Amino acid sequence: MILKYISRIPVIPLAVLAVFMLFAPFTPEPHLLEKSRMLINGELTKGIDIFDLFWHSFWVLLLLLRLLLPRLKS
């Protein structure tokens, strides 16, 4: 049921949002890069850091799901 709603999301606005969130904030370092590095080093322990990792990667994962959804159905 939720896949039906995901397939209705327009790709272009979702892609713009995903790219923006991928690189936000632009200085000094994107959060996704910082939090990924913390995860690899085992330093991702604070709740806000875990939320940041989820929040900044959610849109990219949603975009990937939206793009792959037609292939998954067939």
Domain count within the chain: 1
Query: Which secondary-structure segment (H or E) carries 8?
Result: none
Parent domain of 68: 2-73
pLDDT tens for residues 59-72?
999 999 999 887 76
pTM: 0.79
Query: Could you report the per-residue pLDDT of 43-64, keeping only the tens digit for each?
Result: 999 999 899 889 989 999 999 9
> CB neighbours (10 Å) of residue 63?
20
Q: How far apart are CA 25 and CA 13, in angstroms?
A: 19
